[in-house]
Chains A and B, each alone.
Chain A
Amino acid sequence: MASSKLAEDLRGIVGKANVLDAGVGLHLYGYDAYLEERRPDAVVFVHSTDEVAGVVRACHERGVPFVARGGGTNLSGGTIPVKGGVVIETIRMNKILEIDRANLRARVQPGMFNLEFGNALAPLGYQYLPDPASQKAATLGGNVGENSGGPHCLKYGVTTNHVFGLTVVLPDGEVAHLGGKAPDAPGYDLTGTFVGGEGTLGICTEIVARIVRLPEGVKTLLAIYDRIEDGGETVSAIVAAGMVPATLEMMDQLVIQAVEQSMKCGLPLDCATVLIIEVDGLADDLEQQAQTIADLCRKHGAREVRVAENDAERAALWAGRRGAFGAVARITPSYLVCDGTVPRTALPTVLRKVAEVSRKYDLMIPNVFHAGDGNLHPLILFDWRNAEQKVRVMKAGMEILELCVQMGGTISGEHGVGIEKMDAMRLVFSEADIRAQLKVKRAFDRRDLSNPGKMFPAPREATDAA
């Protein structure tokens, strides 16, 4: 730790029981769902905006880095304290402060799990739309930091489209309320800038989220294909027919097999891909929409289309998709999740090329993807104990990102840059683009203390020597 005086101050702010600065426990806060780890010097458990402000002020005074942490589900290393310092664990700030139906807003604390929030709203007939697949364990604060997506973002957008205000502790310890229940707050859209800032612009301690009524009806279909290209073409055909389903999800054969081994969802082991399609909204035309979609699936080569007739059947169709990442872990001890995004019509091509990458590096790469928005998640399987294999994994991952960029896409759809994709930033951005982003970082965090060592590639060396 930079000084034991800091630990003393931290105890003064949050109480002795809420500071961890020695022992094996520290290791538990040094990793997330990415592949690296770095032990923090201290972990503090915070319970209020004031406590967060106090902790951040103490860090700022001493020039000690800090990282906010929620559920630790981040896939790009966003919560790993790569420069050491203090991990600020927000998981105990997990309350709904207000559900304001008249204004269609809720105020929630950042440590609440996404699914828990949804479960609290549902009995009232309301919902919060962003639904990352990790929603059981991912916190709303983490969703804000990463601008998380999820299956429903095809129709409803990502976190930033549903967050209207934030209470933030800026990296110097000042507290600011950005946006709020009223729309169009004058000034720069700092709420929109902060969302997706990956914790590098400060720490959010309260969220003003939009809530909406649950849809009157939902219809879920599952289409089974013998050729993965047919699934991809169905996706484009549905969109070309003028429909915007709530979700359009795909899984390939390897994932289906893993899912079946793990939870027996009744998916055929010999099929190439399944497509999960959901339409929602007013009940009046859902039957017809489902019928049109089923026809399009069959027209594009689906060998079977299943339509959920009730909530239990709907849950069954979804179970495989929601459990896909977990099921794949049965095959090998580790995997690297790629998070490239391409224009959706490029999906069939990029899938073919991912298969080539898989052969080239001799690695198994099952695929789960949000087909409707062109966001693919190839899972590169490996054993972390095999150092040589890990090198191939990293190369293959980079190659897949390069493919996505070549197809007009980008390097991250929803998992963030973190430490994983810092170098890949140069695949999509010019030096001028990156310099402009660094201006934002400096305006918020002049001393580079809030989650340092993330997002930005190392500055290019001056290349005067010709």
Chain B
Amino acid sequence: MPHELDDLPQRLSGIMGGEQVREGTAASGFSVDGAEPSLVVHPGSQEEVEAAVVACGKAGAVVVPWGGGTAIGLGNPPSRLDVVVCLDRLARIVEFDEANLNVSAEAGVRLADLQAVLAGKHEFLPLDPPQADRVTVGGLVATNSSGPSRLHYGTARDWVLGLRVVLPYGERIRCGGKVVKNVSGYDMNKLFIGSLGTLGIVTEATFKLLPVPAMRVTIVGLFRELAQAAAVVACTLESQLLPEALEALDSQALGAVASAIGLTDPSGYGLAIAVAGSRETVERQVRDFTRLLAESQATATTTLGGAQGAAAWQAIGDVQARMGVTSEERVVVKIAVPIGKTLELLSSAERLARHNGWRGAVTAHAGSGIVRAGYLVGGATLESLRDGLRALRGQAESAEGSLVVETAPAALKCSLDAWGKPPEAAEVMRRLKVEFDPRGLVSPGRFLAGI
């Protein structure tokens, strides 16, 4: 910690109480890509976050926000880190306006806890990121995390109505509001969603909600060839059917979730389809999909309802996260390409593992253009991973897409930028960063193009 930060612990203790400020070894467990913070603070309110950011700013201390820690591996290593602002005590559901289908929750509220409260009134927030049991509201917004059901519902940008943010220079602002249609001023929510804490710290979010569908059923089909699964996907996207999710799994991912989906010793490729809605529409879609799977030479199909279906989707969503405990043990990347290229990229990501004999798991939101690939470090060397991922990134980028490193050992991140080629408007992004954080005190270096 720089010398001028000497009295920062006292100042922060004055704001939130000494027991909420941890130093030295007590601050361990909050390292960001190998960078250890000098201090970890746990503010108890949005006002305390503001005061803490002001105090850190005065001391010139660099701050990184921390929610559930599930996505802390996303981004490049911070160029400097002094204070981790942990938002775990901002755990209040501020307002649940069930009649108007919206909820406001503080950043530290865990998504699973929020969903449990909403479910009490038969409503839900249709976002299903990986590790949904641990991810927090703030983390979800900051990382723009999403899951299989984005096919039907979209992503955080479609459900965030409003945000409260503490800016790097300590001002608290409000973006958006509570109403579903709002064009009063710029759509500032969009700027902060997915900005990884580089423009400020999100302290509260207001979401639009939906009524819980009357029924939800999952259909899983297995295929010898990926092309057969791809035919089902193409056919579905051309149809008027409205599945909630359409998830493809390679053989290793399939093996990892076998017990959760109730198939013993599955082989080949899997396609999991979720349908939700009224009994009439669900039964009809189950019928149509079952027929479609059979016509497409599925070797086995199974239908899961209720809790069994929910468990299957959790296993599928978490398959890469469960491959290891720490970021030193695994690499997880997210590939985004135009929808029609999704399974081509899944195939390449799978081939990379097979060709090198790596253990891993590849899944894809087959109707949304997203592939997630996880590889275990150990069998694979960092050099081979780096070269393999560069090739994969090249393929994604030549399809107008991207490959983002979500988790990787710090050593690998030194040789593989987390975000890839800077976008065309990188200069505007840099100017935004300078406007909001001229001194580079919030999450510096973690974003792309040096931001």
Contact = CB atoms under 8 A, between A and B. Distances in A.
Nearest to A442: B435
Contacts of B195: 188
Given A182-B402, A187-B426, A443-B428, A414 B181 contact: yes
Interface stretch (A42-50, A55-63, A315-323, A421-429): A421-429
Given A160-B190, A345-B100, A416-B183, A182 B177 contact: no
Nearest to B421: A186
A17 to B, nearest CB: 32
Interface string A148-187: 0100011001101100000000100010111011111111
A240 to B, nearest CB: 7
Query: Which of B100, B283, B368 has the most A CB atoms < 10 Å from its CB?
Result: B100
Contacts of B190: 160, 189, 191-193, 195
**Size range of the chain A interface in the assembly:** 35 or more
A190 interface: yes
A213 B202 CA distance: 36
B325 interface: no
Contacts of A161: 154, 157-158
B172 interface: yes
Contacts of B238: 101, 213
Interface string A360-384: 0000000000100111000000000
Interface string B128-155: 0000000000000000101000000011
Contacts of A197: 186
Contacts of A446: 431
B298 interface: no
Interface residues of B, number: 88
A104 B339 contact: yes
Interface string B280-293: 11011100000000
Given A180-B400, A182-B336, A242-B212, A443 B174 contact: no
A188 B183 contact: no
Contacts of A104: 237, 339
Interface string A408-451: 11111111110001000100111011111101111110100000
Contacts of B242: 281-282
A331 interface: no
B184 interface: yes
B432 A439 contact: yes
B310 interface: no
Contact of A343 (B100, B277, B429, B432): B100
A61 B193 CA distance: 34
A242 B122 contact: yes
Interface string B165-192: 0010001111101111111111111110
A236 B99 CA distance: 7
A389 to B, nearest CB: 27
Given A282-B242, A433-B174, A413 B401 contact: no
Interface string B425-440: 1111101101110000
A415 B184 CA distance: 9
A153 B191 CA distance: 22
A170 B280 CA distance: 50
Contacts of B369: 103, 182-183
B240 A213 contact: yes
A356 B347 CA distance: 65
Given A102-B339, A239-B101, A410 B177 contact: yes
A247 interface: no
Nearest to B283: A284
B179 A282 contact: no
B25 interface: no
A207 to B, nearest CB: 16
Given A188-B195, A244-B210, A370 B181 contact: yes
Contact of A440 (B102, B177, B186, B338): B186
A413 B340 contact: no
B181 A176 contact: no
Contacts of A345: 99-100
B94 interface: no
Contacts of B419: 186-187
A147 interface: yes
A102 B340 contact: yes
A341 B178 CA distance: 10
Interface in B360-374: 368-370
A231 to B, nearest CB: 16
Contacts of B183: 146-147, 196, 412-417
A186 B187 contact: no
Nearest to A181: B338
Given A177-B425, A189-B144, A432-B173, 20 more contacts: A153-B180, A181-B339, A184-B155, A186-B404, A187-B423, A189-B193, A192-B189, A193-B186, A196-B187, A282-B281, A285-B278, A285-B280, A373-B180, A374-B100, A409-B179, A412-B183, A414-B183, A421-B184, A432-B172, A439-B436
Interface of A: 100-105, 146-147, 149, 153-154, 157-158, 160-161, 170, 174, 176-178, 180-193, 195-197, 213-216, 236, 239-240, 242-244, 281-282, 284-285, 288-289, 341-345, 370, 373-375, 408-417, 421, 425, 428-430, 432-437, 439-444, 446, 455
17 contacts: A105-B338, A160-B187, A177-B424, A182-B338, A185-B423, A187-B448, A189-B190, A192-B191, A281-B242, A281-B281, A341-B182, A374-B100, A417-B185, A429-B184, A433-B173, A436-B175, A440-B186
